């Protein structure tokens, strides 16, 4: 599949999602980039900003199964993965699969469940594999986690540990829509009754699973020149020497940024990566992989401001 084919395919997906979701262009682009990079996405934003509807429409448009888990303090790992139950008719144990056995999994308010249950996702996100009672069960190769968390209410939450955060390719911060977008949202959604499902808005699959797999396989053909690799490495290493950051990004972050840049290039119809691909993805790729120093926090600095300054200061190839 050529880059121009991938670009056209992405345009069809965007158009289908926007039948129901107004605005959120950056979010849709990051979901597409993550999908073509075989990565996962953490969405952080206030309630009511269409995170759930967006994930549902995205899965529907690309012909993948959608599953949702509402994370709560009493959720157990077995509620996510599934469990072996004894069948008295067959006199044997039978696996009852949990909601993780899907293609696109919405992990809603993932920070509201204890670390033990959060950790149940680690193997699935890293290896696309689930182990239950010593037996391994493979997940779909397109298995993608779209997790959400609410930045406003922190009481009763369990912050994701660094190991879990590192499994996410992107952390994207959603904001409220502009006035014009909100007007359009109210005009479209405010007159409807009943459930707001993708089907209610006419969202249908626009690509087949075979087309999707072919497109994902074609992304790796994008050329990543040595000067772009050096730019990525310099950018990531700058996070480790910045006095404003207590912990910098790991080599895994550099590899993830390179993979995502390839996908972004293909989605733009190119078979080569340019510095702008790296710049546009550096913030969502790195913001959850670094920690501010105590001195920077006292000074009122934010992670995004610090990273934006580092991105600006790091020389890009010409």
123 and 50 in one domain? Answer: yes
Predicted confidence (pLDDT) per residue in 138-194, tens digit = 998 899 999 998 876 666 678 888 888 888 999 999 888 889 989 988 888 777 666
Mean pLDDT, residues 62-66? 92
User: What is the tally of structural domains in the chain?
Assistant: 2
44 and 156 share a domain?
yes
**pTM, two decimal places:** 0.90
Residues 97, 170, single domain; the answer is: yes
DSSP 272: B
Q: Is residue 171 part of a domain?
A: yes
Residue 163, domain member (yes or no): yes
The answer to whether the beta carbons of residues 85 and 94 sit under 8 Å apart is yes
Q: Which run of H or of E encompasses 17?
A: helix 3-17
User: Three-class SS of residue 91?
Assistant: coil
Asked if residue 281 is part of any domain, the answer here is yes
Q: Are residue 179 and residue 295 in the same domain, yes or no?
A: no
Residues 226 and 204 in one domain: no
**Does residue 80 lie within any of the structural domains?**
yes
> How is residue 302 annotated by DSSP?
-
Task: From residue 108, give the alpha-carbon distance in Å to each of 76, 160, 161.
Answer: 15, 13, 17
Pair 180, 297 in one domain: no
Q: Are the C-beta atoms of residues 114 and 152 closer than 8 Å to each other?
A: no
Q: Are residues 45 and 124 in the same domain?
A: yes
d(CA 39, CA 235): 21
CA 24/CA 27 separation, integer angstroms: 5
Question: What is the domain range of residue 24?
Answer: 3-208
Q: Is 178 helix (H, G, I), strand (E, B) or coil?
A: coil
Domain boundary among 208, 236, 271: 208
CATH code of the domain covering residue 247:
1.10.8.80
* Residue 215 maps to a domain: no
Find out whether 21 and 53 touch, Cβ atoms under 8 Å. Answer: yes
Query: Which of 261, 35, 12, 45 lies closest to 174 in space, CA to CA?
Result: 45
Please determine, for residue 195, whether its predicted confidence score (pLDDT) is greater than 80. no
Q: Is 102 part of any domain?
A: yes
The CATH code of the domain that includes 38 is 3.40.50.300
User: Is residue 16 located within the same domain as residue 163?
Assistant: yes
pLDDT tens digit sequence for 243-276: 999 999 999 999 999 999 999 999 999 999 999 9
Q: In whole angstroms, what separates CA 1 from the centre of its chain?
A: 24
Q: Would 198 be classed as within a structural domain?
A: yes
Based on the domain organization, do 257 and 302 belong to the same domain? yes
Both 284 and 243 in a single domain?
A: yes
CB 103 within 8 A of CB 140: yes
Q: Are residues 99 and 47 in the same domain?
A: yes
DSSP state of 167: T
Of 187, 208, 229, at which residue does a domain stop? 208
Beta bridge partners of residue 93, listed in sequence order = 86
pLDDT bucket at 85, cuts 50 / 70 / 90? confident
Which of these three, 173, 208, 243, is where a domain ends? Answer: 208
Spatial separation of the C-alpha atoms in residues 168 and 176, rounded to whole Å: 23
308 and 193 in one domain? Answer: no
Predicted confidence (pLDDT) at residue 23 exceeds the cutoff of 90:
no
318 falls within a domain: no
d(CA 203, CA 285): 29
CA pair distance 252, 211, nearest whole angstrom: 29
Cα 185–chain centre separation: 24
The pLDDT of residue 67 is 92
């Amino acid at each position: 599949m050529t880059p121009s084919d991938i670009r056209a395919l992405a345009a069809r997906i965007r158009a289908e999602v926007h039948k129901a979701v107004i605005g959120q262009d950056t979010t849709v682009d990051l979901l597409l980039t993550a999908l073509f990079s075989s990565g996962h996405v953490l969405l952080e934003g206030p309630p009511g900003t269409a995170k759930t509807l967006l994930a549902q429409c995205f899965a529907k448009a690309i012909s993948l199964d959608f599953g949702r888990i509402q994370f709560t303090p009493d959720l157990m790992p077995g509620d996510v993965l599934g469990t072996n139950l004894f069948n008295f008719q067959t006199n044997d144990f039978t696996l009852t699969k949990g909601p993780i056995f899907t293609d696109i999994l919405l992990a809603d308010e993932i920070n509201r469940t204890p670390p033990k249950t959060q950790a149940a996702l680690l193997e699935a996100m890293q290896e696309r594999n689930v182990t239950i009672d010593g037996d391994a069960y493979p997940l779909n190769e397109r298995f993608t986690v779209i997790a959400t968390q609410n930045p406003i209410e922190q009481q009763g939450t369990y912050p994701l540990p660094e190991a879990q955060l590192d499994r996410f390719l992107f952390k994207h911060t959603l904001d409220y829509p502009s006035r014009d977008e909100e007007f359009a949202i109210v005009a479209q959604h405010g007159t409807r009754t009943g459930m707001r499902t993708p089907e209610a808005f006419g969202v249908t699959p626009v690509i087949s699973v075979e087309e999707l797999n072919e497109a994902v396989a074609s992304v790796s053909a994008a050329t990543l020149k040595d000067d772009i690799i050096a730019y990525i490495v310099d950018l990531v290493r700058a996070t480790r020497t910045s006095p404003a950051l207590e912990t910098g990004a790991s080599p895994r972050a550099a590899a993830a940024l390179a993979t995502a840049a390839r996908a972004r290039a293909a989605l733009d119809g190119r078979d080569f990566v340019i510095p702008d691909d790296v710049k546009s993805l550096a913030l969502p790729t790195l913001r959850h992989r670094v920690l501010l120093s105590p001195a920077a926090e006292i000074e009122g600095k934010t992670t995004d401001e610090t990273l934006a300054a580092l991105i600006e200061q790091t020389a890009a190839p010409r």
